[in-house]
Structure 1
Amino acid sequence: MELLQDILTGIANNIFNQVPILIGLIALAGLLLQRKPFETVVAGTVRAVVGVVILTLGVEIFVGGLVAFQAIVASAVGLEPPTATSTLNDFLAGAGSAVPLIIAVGFGIHLLLVRVFPAARYVYLTGHLMFWMSIVIAASLVEVFADVPRTTLIVVGAVLIACYWTLQPLWVAPLMRRLMGHDQFGLGHTTSTVALLAGYGSRALRLGDARTHDSEKLTLPRQISFFKDINVSTAVIISVIMIAAIAFASPAVVEEQMAGSELLPWAWGLTQALRFAAGIAILLFGVRMFLAEIVPAFKGISDKVLPGTKPALDIPVVFPKAPTAVMIGFLSSTVVFLVCMGVFAATGWFVLVPPMIMLFFGGGCGGVFGNAVAGWRGAVFGGVVNGILLAFGQWISWGLYDRTAPELATLADPDWFAVGWLVLGAGNVLAPLGAAAPWIIAGATLVVTVAVLVVLSRRGEPVTSSPAPAPAGADAPADAPAPADAPARSEAPSSRPPSRPGKE
């Protein structure tokens, strides 16, 4: 048993939590199953891996700026982050050490569900979020059932995470098809709650028309038309925000973030903003290169091993579709969160920490999905939704995880709150049943998941077989990857580790 645990832990740590390796193995297997020539297998696999590495490098470049920005903004408004007696590192060294096993066992259950049920057609491949969502579920179980046996924690956690991986791409699939104009891949990301609220909320509120108000077709006065270039607008906007924050922040905090740089603070802030813009450009290039290889490569797995399946991928895969909407969502999300931060501080409710990484990826998600339904107005709405969810979610969740990993509240995407609160709520209701309670939660979740998949299968609804109409005004997606039966392109057009730099 101990040997098996060591093997599963090694697989989780060295494959699932290492996104380039995971994607490389998927691409390799897919190309081999298609019996492609040796040179095509090597080239396709390497290009897929390099695309992921480029994407990751882009993320690391601008995430580094976001972390510094977060500290400087907090200092500028005169707030100190909350403290806790327990830490995430303590949890991972204790009960949380079961997380790699939860990932490995859970992925096996996920693949089984995908193989058995025709309606389950997405294989979740966002490796770093496998790690983080497994931590959320494990911490939620331990918070309610403090003395839960390790075996119970592993099996119950694996069932819960497998059900989430199976269902999450499905509930966002209609909006994903509307956004992308095709269904060659799905979304596997823990901002799906924002996507749903941004898309369906924009439609319910009738905020606008995707054709008329498309953020990518905004008409700007000639003097500020440069804002249409996403690289220019990002650099200018972030530069203004960063320099303004530096002006009001504590000199000691700014000096600490500058890490011995000999530049003047304003020059350093400008440099960070330019690096942020460069990181976005690198990320988008990596996304295009990665998609150009993984989608056709995955066809081998879809044809031979898991019939009809498609990969569910990280949130940056949708950013090239509407980069202006990404920036609109990020900015509106940030503004709303900062307003909430001021309100919370004034009322004495809680000291919010500005989670810039989650504001960017979640705001970008809300922006693109809101834009797909209601144009730039929907993009603003999506960002507002993300900012509100992160603010109130952080406030509520900090105390809920005070015995395990309260930092999860400040690192969270909205799905973390949704899933974690459901597990905590169910656990508190069933706690009087003792040791049987975790198993009841797992059993009930599995039954509901299977029931949903059976209903979808019996309806015969093509969960992924036919694309929904593209957003009004959207042409055939020029940034979409090659069709699944097309040869891999040789060139592209112009995992989150514990510190969570590769988040989204």
Structure 2
Amino acid sequence: MNITPFFNMGLFGEPAFILGLIALVGLIIQRQAFPKVISGTVKTMLGYSLIQVGGMAAGTALSNLSAIIQRGFQVIGIIPHNETIVALAQINYGTEIAWIMLIGMILHLAIARFTSIKYIFLTGHHILFMASMLGSLLANYFLESWKVFIIGGIILALSMSFSPVLAQRYVKKVTGTNQVALGHFNSIGYFLSGLVAQMVRSKDKKEMPKFVEKIQPYFQEQIVVIAVFTFILFLVSGLFVSPEGMKEMFSGHHFIIVSAIQAIWFTAGVFIILAGVRMLVAEIIPAFQGIAEKIVPQSIPALDSPILFPYAPIAAVFGFLFSFLGGLIAMSVLLTIQYTTIIPGVIPHFFSGGAAGVIAYKVGGRRGLVIASILHGFFITIVPIYLVPLLANLGYIRATFADSDFAILGLIVHWLIECWQFIWNAF
């Protein structure tokens, strides 16, 4: 029996099995009861499968939206949406992604244990997102599998360790403590938001006008916000396609009906993906955190962006709105200069824009909130355009990674590999 195919295509060739194994080991180390060990392992593998199923549904809706935009505006529309592209990346590079996650988490704990960088990155879905981006990117260079695993794991570990450092000065300003950090791969966007807000900050510190509290309840249900905004995107895009063209594309259905059904189809896909991510993360991260507490005493947890929302809820809502406005401005600019354009995604502007808005308001008041949030939205909409060609091996999927760190890190990794290959070939 050849041992290599046995490991590559058998034991460790299935990413769901690898991720389940991570949860299994973590739960055993924590001495959990046998039923909990079995439950956690099965739920981890099931969560992975749900991500793939939801990705197919959401990807179909995004493909239809892109087709409408291309026909109406004669451009290619790409939406930054982490969950969708990760689900599609899992289909092509699931093994690489799982190994990168495993190696990255181990090395991340080692960095926290033996250096002064004590942040423990606990936002599991963003670990999955970054591992997916790295796996898809590195596989594009035809490296041997073990090299993809190791290089990707090292880069993931470094990004998990140093991403919280970049935004921490502003997180401390918001929370008033150094006991918590942001574990969210939009650290460059948060840093720029805080920096801009600091430069343009208001002299007064007046609170938000009272009337803005009335609109806050409309943004409490994330999945409803996604459905409504996606429906608006389909509806507006459909207005620029002739009725005959819409009927030809969608078997004679009216464009309003098409917009509603496609928006719900996309939202259903996102809901399944989020359920899968929650199920996957709910089992792996507690095991990871339990190990981290034993290995790294006095560590600082780096958590997801919504931890900032309670410190300025109204600013979070307006951060989302102004960030989305900045995304629309960026889309307009892209439309004038090239054939491929980025359509602002609701999810990245909701979470990243909301957190950026809280930072901007706490640092720069109302003026800082408005200016920094718009620039933040412009920035996170522009930078993904440079990542799209680097992921050409995934095919024309009409989606890309959202949030600033994915694109910036992807460009840095691409540049380093290109330089290394040039030097290697030269000598």
Please, which of 119, 137, 149 is the counterpart of residue 140 of structure 1?
A: 137
SS at 1:434's partner residue? helix
Whole-angstrom CA distance in 2 between matches of 1:402 and 1:298:
33
Given that residues 332 and 384 in structure 1 are in contact (C-alpha distance below 8 angstroms), is that contact kept between their aligned partners in structure 2?
A: yes
Whole-angstrom CA distance in 2 between matches of 1:348 and 1:323:
37
Given that residues 362 and 383 in structure 1 are in contact (C-alpha distance below 8 angstroms), is that contact kept between their aligned partners in structure 2?
A: no
Cα drift, residue 322 of structure 1: 2.2
Whole-angstrom CA distance in 1 between matches of 2:97 and 2:229:
41
Please, which of 146, 155, 163 is the counterpart of residue 151 of structure 1?
A: 146
Given that residues 138 and 157 in structure 1 are in contact (C-alpha distance below 8 angstroms), is that contact kept between their aligned partners in structure 2?
A: yes
Residue equivalent to 1:246: 235
Q: TM-score, normalised by structure 2?
A: 0.68
Residue equivalent to 1:319: 309
Residue equivalent to 2:215: 227
Amino acid at match of 2:150: V
SS at 1:325's partner residue? helix
Please, which of 6, 13, 18 is the counterpart of residue 19 of structure 2?
A: 13
SS at 1:172's partner residue? helix
Cα drift, residue 188 of structure 1: 1.0
Given that residues 341 and 351 in structure 1 are in contact (C-alpha distance below 8 angstroms), is that contact kept between their aligned partners in structure 2?
A: yes
Whole-angstrom CA distance in 2 between matches of 1:175 and 1:400:
32
Taking the TM superposition and a 5 Å limit, the aligned residue runs for 1:197-346 are: 197-203=192-198, 205-208=199-202, 212-213=205-206, 217-220=207-210, 226-227=214-215, 231=219, 246=235, 249=238, 304-346=294-336
Amino acid at match of 1:121: K
Residue equivalent to 2:418: 428
CA deviations 1:266-314 (Å, max 9, x no partner) are 9969x98xx99xx9xxx9xx9xxx9xxx99x999767643211132222
Cα drift, residue 174 of structure 1: 2.0
Given that residues 169 and 187 in structure 1 are in contact (C-alpha distance below 8 angstroms), is that contact kept between their aligned partners in structure 2?
A: yes
Residue equivalent to 1:389: 379
> Is the helix fraction higher in 1 or 2?
2
Of all paired residues, the percent bearing the same amino acid is: 21
Given that residues 102 and 157 in structure 1 are in contact (C-alpha distance below 8 angstroms), is that contact kept between their aligned partners in structure 2?
A: yes
Cα drift, residue 354 of structure 1: 3.1
CA deviations 1:443-492 (Å, max 9, x no partner) are xxxxxxxxxxxxxxxxxxxxxxxxxxxxxxxxxxxxxxxxxxxxxxxxxx
CA deviations 1:405-436 (Å, max 9, x no partner) are 66596332210011111111111122124399
Whole-angstrom CA distance in 2 between matches of 1:370 and 1:107:
31
Distance 1:316 1:156, change over 3 A: same
Cα drift, residue 377 of structure 1: 2.7
Whole-angstrom CA distance in 2 between matches of 1:195 and 1:139:
25
SS at 2:357's partner residue? helix
Given that residues 401 and 407 in structure 2 are in contact (C-alpha distance below 8 angstroms), is that contact kept between their aligned partners in structure 1?
A: no
Cα drift, residue 394 of structure 1: 2.9
Q: Are 1:379 and 2:355 counterparts?
A: no
SS at 1:312's partner residue? strand
SS at 2:174's partner residue? helix
Residue equivalent to 1:189: 184
Given that residues 70 and 77 in structure 2 are in contact (C-alpha distance below 8 angstroms), is that contact kept between their aligned partners in structure 1?
A: no
Given that residues 219 and 317 in structure 2 are in contact (C-alpha distance below 8 angstroms), is that contact kept between their aligned partners in structure 1?
A: no
Residue equivalent to 2:392: 402
Distance 1:436 1:132, change over 3 A: farther
Cα drift, residue 81 of structure 1: 3.2
Distance 1:231 1:266, change over 3 A: farther
SS at 1:183's partner residue? coil
Taking the TM superposition and a 5 Å limit, the aligned residue runs for 1:358-369 are: 358-369=348-359
Given that residues 185 and 405 in structure 2 are in contact (C-alpha distance below 8 angstroms), is that contact kept between their aligned partners in structure 1?
A: yes
Whole-angstrom CA distance in 1 between matches of 2:101 and 2:289:
24
Residue equivalent to 1:122: 119
Given that residues 172 and 178 in structure 2 are in contact (C-alpha distance below 8 angstroms), is that contact kept between their aligned partners in structure 1?
A: yes
Given that residues 326 and 367 in structure 1 are in contact (C-alpha distance below 8 angstroms), is that contact kept between their aligned partners in structure 2?
A: yes
Cα drift, residue 77 of structure 1: 6.8
Cα drift, residue 352 of structure 1: 2.5
Amino acid at match of 2:19: N
Cα drift, residue 201 of structure 1: 2.1
Distance 1:247 1:416, change over 3 A: closer
Whole-angstrom CA distance in 2 between matches of 1:240 and 1:388:
18
5+ residue gaps, structure 1, are 54-59, 438-504
5+ residue gaps, structure 2, are 48-53, 79-84
SS at 1:147's partner residue? coil
Cα drift, residue 172 of structure 1: 1.9
Amino acid at match of 1:227: I
Q: Are 1:131 and 2:128 counterparts?
A: yes
Amino acid at match of 2:96: A
Whole-angstrom CA distance in 2 between matches of 1:383 and 1:190:
17
Given that residues 76 and 248 in structure 1 are in contact (C-alpha distance below 8 angstroms), is that contact kept between their aligned partners in structure 2?
A: no
Mean Cα deviation higher: 390-399 or 146-155 = 390-399
Distance 1:327 1:345, change over 3 A: same
Q: Are 1:415 and 2:415 counterparts?
A: no
Amino acid at match of 1:208: S
Residue equivalent to 1:475: none
Residue equivalent to 1:106: 104
Whole-angstrom CA distance in 2 between matches of 1:241 and 1:76:
18
What RMSD over aligned residues (CA atoms) do the two structures have, in Å?
A: 5.1
Cα drift, residue 357 of structure 1: 2.0
Mean Cα deviation higher: 182-191 or 301-310 = 301-310
Distance 1:371 1:241, change over 3 A: farther
Amino acid at match of 1:138: G
Given that residues 329 and 365 in structure 1 are in contact (C-alpha distance below 8 angstroms), is that contact kept between their aligned partners in structure 2?
A: yes
Mean Cα deviation higher: 418-427 or 348-357 = 348-357
SS at 1:333's partner residue? helix
SS at 1:392's partner residue? helix
Taking the TM superposition and a 5 Å limit, the aligned residue runs for 1:156-195 are: 156-195=151-190
Taking the TM superposition and a 5 Å limit, the aligned residue runs for 1:346-361 are: 346-361=336-351
Whole-angstrom CA distance in 2 between matches of 1:208 and 1:171:
24
Whole-angstrom CA distance in 1 between matches of 2:244 and 2:312:
39
Distance 1:75 1:388, change over 3 A: same
